[in-house]
Structure 1
Amino acid sequence: MTWQALFSLLTVISVLGAMAFTRIAADVIVMTALTALVVSGILAPGEALAGFANPGVMTIACLYVVAAGLKETGAIQWLAQRVLGQPRSLKLALLRVLLPSSTLSAFMNNTTVVAMFIPAIQDWANRLKLPPSKLLLPLSYAAILGGTCTLIGTSTNLVVDGLLQSERGVNLGMFELAWVGIPISLIGGTFLYLFAGRLLPNRQGALEQLEQAREYAVEVVVSANGPLVGMTIADAGLRNLVHGYLADIERHSRLQTAVPPDTELQAGDILIFIGAPECARELRHIDGLRPANGDVHKLDIAHHRRCLVEAVIGPDFTGLYQTVRQSRFRSRYQAVILSISRQGRRIPGKLGAIELEVGDTLLMETAQDFVDQYRYRKDFLLVSALSDSTPPNFSKTPWALSILGGLVAASASGLLSILEAALVAAGMMLVTRCLPASKARRYIDLSVLVVIAASFALGAAMTNTGAADMIADTIMLIDGLSPWLALALIYLMTVVFTELITNNAAAVLMFPIAMAIANRLGVDYMPFIIVIMVAASASFMTPLGYQTNLMVMGPGGYRFTDYLRLGAPLSIIVGAVAITTVPFIWPF
């Protein structure tokens, strides 16, 4: 083994470890690796930066703009209102979620589809008295499945297609992947339709917990010279509030829960009430109570002027693993956190002492411009106004849908390449004013593009130094290794990488290994490449492997075990369908 090959392998292993076990941003990790490969002389600058000129990367950038136009014009919301309908059972509701989400995700960014459907399904489930936990995770999984049906369905497909173009001069057609994507979507969708309602818990998201379990916490202190000292809770009228109830009493730094109504109040008692916003106003009219730590003052806003916002904390949030107080959340974001939900549970205790983590869902009281201000920033994965949100520009919906249809028709007919069609469609979104250029820039996720483009350097280093060949030779030592078994191993390795790191990076790293194995076996490389495309998207077992899985975690009230319960059998089903189907369509 040459030192160049060893250095390349160590670099890849370091990237995998850093992505899986540290909080360092993925784009920082891969750019550091790219720098190391250039400085060491393993790659020339042109080779290292070739990914930034790859057609697949540029196509993804253009499709961000197209997806933004569809979102800003309310095209998805318009479709959702017409396809969700008024089902009479959970099974029919699941069907109405699975079909449109999988179909739409075949032609646009999965993240956009899920982001637009989440608030619509929350409101819809509330009206139909259905638990959102039965619907939101199937929404994410259906979007992932639908993305395997077309070349533009997921960024992973475009990345691998870009590698094929640069390495072999091969272009995949718009619907070429449908031969395997449609069976996967149909069989996986059928599994979700039959078993999602049984395997997923009847659990509520953060908004529903607030409405029914009343999770606004308001703290007040019993005044030392007030009339409530010595009175029981019942006699003080604290058991008869209209908009809230007394949950706990903190006395001499000790928390008393499930307090009986005959408990006598003492001076300095901190009473913790759980209730709706109007609870704060009720407490102000009770003589002998004063705000604790100013919380009641923070809630002293007329209800019609409030903006309730649900936000899912992302990996780039500046106050990660700091308490709410340490993060200076209120002064930094001009918002007051009312409730925090983690893995479907309201976290007890003082809000100021809770450490914030990735995936936490915050229910906040803030100004109405908060959504517009932070929707495009990376602090939060999802920012959704729960009330008083500004409606989209529905007058532009026909334009946005027509542009999307033109993109699909032009690329599918061969009139334009995928990149050319995406460039034209993005330009038309701006020309028709479906969205302004300023918003288009914000929608382009540069961190994702950098990760994808820089990951190409890792693949090039593994190929140029022979590291990929050595990995292939190691796999070839398995006794009786057949093309079918090798295909299954490639699929399994890609799935593991996808669950640990980003799906695009997993595809780029597995590409040279798959090409080397196909070369050693003397078979065609296309079955292995198609399997990588499917496996890199098939992240169902953890909320971290695919962004849409993390987006629904808070709103659906999910825990890690919920993903395993439904995602593990789905992952096995998708893998079995892909491995058995692909060689018949793309023979060895």
Structure 2
Amino acid sequence: MPVDAILALGTVVAVLMVLITTRIAADVVLVSAVVFLMLTGILTPQEALSGFSNTGVLTIAALYVVAAALKESGAIQWLALRVLGQPKRTKLAQLRILGPAAGLSAFMNNTAVVAMLIPALQDWSSRLKIAPSKLMIPLSYACILGGTATVIGTSTNLVVVGLLDSEKDVQLSMFEPAWIGVPLVVVGGLYMFFFGNKLLPRRQGFLEQFQSAREYGVEVLVDANGPLVGKTIAAAGLRQLTHGYLAEIEREDQLMTAVSPQTVLRGGDALIFIGAPDCAQELRRIDGLTPADGHVQELNIRHSSRRLIEAIIGTDFSALGQSIRAAKFRTRYNAVVLAVSRHGKRLPGKLGDIELQVGDTLLLEAGDDFVGQYRHRKDFLMVSALNDSSPPDFKNAPAALGILLAMVVVSAVGLLSILEASFLAALALIAIRCVPVSKARREIDLSVLTVVAASFALGSAMASSGAAERIAGLLLFADGLAPWLALAMVYALTVFFTELITNNGAAVLMFPIAVEVAAQLDVSFMPFVLAVMFAASASFMTPLGYQTNLMVLGPGGYRFTDYLQVGAPMSLLVGAVVVGLVPLVWSF
């Protein structure tokens, strides 16, 4: 194997290992790899930076702005609430999710769709008396499958389309992927309809666990100089709380359970209440009670500006593996952790000793500006206030949806390219004030764009050095291997990479390998490239494989095994559909 091929392949392997075994940001790892490839002469500076000018990458940037405008205008909720309806059965509710989730994801970033639909589905499931765990994974899967139906449905599709355009001078029309994407939505929907209710657990989400299981503990102290000293529990009004009840009293070395309403309060008594999240706020309004740990009092926020917030820890959270105390959470975020949920369960023990992990859902008390400040950062996957005082501006929703429709139409009929249409739509949405310019800037995820652009350089190095040719030769282990079997192997390898690295990175790395496999078989490269495109989005078996899966982990109250139980059959089913149909649309 040539030295250049060894260096290129070694670089890719090193990138994979670093991404798997460390917490170094993906964009830092990829850019470092690109610099190494330039310094070793495998890539010229022009080749290394070509990804930053790729039409697919620039289209992704414009679509971030479009998604931000749809989110700010409330267009997603406006549309979803009009089509969800009031189904009587869980199966029908799961089927109702499929249409709006898959339809919206076909034309905008599916992460934004999931983020906006989670609160709507939480309210919907509560009204229908359906466990959130029956709806959240179907939401994520519907968005993943819906995104495969159009060129702009996922960033992965745009990346592969950009590669086809730049490397092979082949253009895909807006709805060309729908030949496979629509059957995937139908098959996935039927699978969830017939088997989803049986395979999905009946479990409540983080918020619902506190409200119905009443396992959220709030500890307060009786102020020695306050008005409650000498009063009975009943006279102090502590037996008629709306959101909780008094479970225990700690008095010096004595623990009092089954507390009588006639028990007289003393200064320094520690009262333990069990109830919903709002119990903390309710107790805060009672004169003479103070938080037991004192951290809430140390917040530099007026009481009138405080609110309860739910936040899911993301992969870029800077204190992963550290305890809440060691992470200095209050100092760093000006927020206090009231409780932690992991895999749908409240963690017992002292809060300060809990070590934080990806996917943990935190119940916080913070200021009004916390949601706006951290919604656009990568510390948390999702941040939502339990009592949101900043509702979307629904009057702009019809206009935002109209611009989105116009963008799709002009691109589909060929009046404008996808890049031109998306940029025009972004500018129009800013012009009619569906989204402020400052927020539009923040919504453009530069780390994702950098990862995608840098991945182009790795793919180019694999192709130009001959490494892709060598890997293709290993895949074609036997002479006369059937193209269909080779296609299945390329698909499986892409799914494997997608579970380890980003979906976009997997698509870019597998693109030259897929092209080389087709060349060695002397068949068309199109079926192999399209298989890579669909496989890079087919992550169903773990919550970490695709961001939307991780986002529904807390709200659905799921455990890691739930994804394997439901996702393994889905992954096999999707793989069979893709491998079976792709050669019928794009022949060998």
In the alignment, residue 88 of structure 1 is paired with which amino acid? K
Map of 1:378 onto structure 2: 378
Map of 1:458 onto structure 2: 458
Map of 2:186 onto structure 1: 186
Map of 1:203 onto structure 2: 203
Map of 1:545 onto structure 2: 545
Q: Secondary structure at the match of 2:198?
A: helix
Query: 2 CA distance for matches of 1:531 and 1:177?
Result: 11
Q: Is the 8 A contact 1:137 1:552 kept in 2?
A: yes
Q: Does 1:584 align with 2:584?
A: yes
The offset of 1:225, in angstroms, is: 13
- Relative to the length of structure 1, the TM-score reads 0.92
Q: What CA deviation, in whole Å up to 9, does each residue of 1:158-181 have, x standing for no partner? A: 100111111111110001111111
How many positions carry a matched residue from both structures? 584
In the alignment, residue 108 of structure 1 is paired with which amino acid? M
Q: What CA deviation, in whole Å up to 9, does each residue of 1:379-422 have, x standing for no partner? A: 11111122133111222222211111111111100111111111
Q: Secondary structure at the match of 1:537?
A: coil
The offset of 1:77, in angstroms, is: 1.0
Map of 1:110 onto structure 2: 110
Q: Aligned in 2, Cα 1:33/1:480: closer, same or farther, shift over 3 Å?
A: same
Q: Is the 8 A contact 1:455 1:509 kept in 2?
A: yes
**Superposition pairs of residues 130-169 of structure 1, within 5 angstroms:** 130-169=130-169
Q: Aligned in 2, Cα 1:252/1:526: closer, same or farther, shift over 3 Å?
A: farther
Q: Aligned in 2, Cα 1:295/1:218: closer, same or farther, shift over 3 Å?
A: farther
Q: Aligned in 2, Cα 1:281/1:124: closer, same or farther, shift over 3 Å?
A: closer
Map of 1:528 onto structure 2: 528
Q: What CA deviation, in whole Å up to 9, does each residue of 1:38-61 have, x standing for no partner? A: 111111111001000001000111
Query: 1 CA distance for matches of 2:224 and 2:307?
Result: 35
In the alignment, residue 539 of structure 1 is paired with which amino acid? S
The offset of 1:318, in angstroms, is: 2.2
Map of 2:487 onto structure 1: 487
Q: Secondary structure at the match of 1:218?
A: strand
Q: Is the 8 A contact 2:324 2:353 kept in 1?
A: yes
Query: 2 CA distance for matches of 1:384 and 1:224?
Result: 36
Q: What CA deviation, in whole Å up to 9, does each residue of 1:311-330 have, x standing for no partner? A: 11111122222221222222
The offset of 1:284, in angstroms, is: 9.3
- Relative to the length of structure 2, the TM-score reads 0.92
Map of 1:28 onto structure 2: 28
Q: Is the 8 A contact 2:34 2:454 kept in 1?
A: yes
Query: 1 CA distance for matches of 2:334 and 2:284?
Result: 24
Q: Aligned in 2, Cα 1:519/1:279: closer, same or farther, shift over 3 Å?
A: closer
Q: Is the 8 A contact 1:151 1:176 kept in 2?
A: yes
The offset of 1:95, in angstroms, is: 1.6
Q: Secondary structure at the match of 2:176?
A: coil
The offset of 1:423, in angstroms, is: 1.3
Q: Does 1:347 align with 2:372?
A: no
Q: Aligned in 2, Cα 1:430/1:300: closer, same or farther, shift over 3 Å?
A: closer
Map of 2:129 onto structure 1: 129
Map of 1:57 onto structure 2: 57
* Structure 2 unmatched ranges of 5 or more: none
In the alignment, residue 34 of structure 2 is paired with which amino acid? L
In the alignment, residue 43 of structure 2 is paired with which amino acid? L
**Superposition pairs of residues 240-255 of structure 1, within 5 angstroms:** 243-245=243-245
**Superposition pairs of residues 386-465 of structure 1, within 5 angstroms:** 386-465=386-465
The offset of 1:374, in angstroms, is: 1.5
Q: Is the 8 A contact 2:223 2:267 kept in 1?
A: yes
Q: Aligned in 2, Cα 1:414/1:284: closer, same or farther, shift over 3 Å?
A: closer
Q: What CA deviation, in whole Å up to 9, does each residue of 1:128-150 have, x standing for no partner? A: 21111100110000000011111
The offset of 1:246, in angstroms, is: 5.4
The offset of 1:152, in angstroms, is: 0.5
Map of 2:68 onto structure 1: 68
Q: What CA deviation, in whole Å up to 9, does each residue of 1:342-395 have, x standing for no partner? A: 111111111121111111111222222221222111111111122133111222
Query: 2 CA distance for matches of 1:92 and 1:273?
Result: 39
Q: Is the 8 A contact 1:247 1:272 kept in 2?
A: yes
The offset of 1:194, in angstroms, is: 1.7
Q: Secondary structure at the match of 2:327?
A: coil
* Structure 1 unmatched ranges of 5 or more: none
More deviation, 493-502/17-26: 17-26
Q: Aligned in 2, Cα 1:463/1:296: closer, same or farther, shift over 3 Å?
A: closer
Q: Secondary structure at the match of 1:88?
A: coil
In the alignment, residue 414 of structure 1 is paired with which amino acid? G
More deviation, 450-459/76-85: 76-85
Seq. identity, %? 62
Q: Does 1:294 align with 2:291?
A: no
In the alignment, residue 433 of structure 2 is paired with which amino acid? R
Q: Secondary structure at the match of 1:325?
A: helix
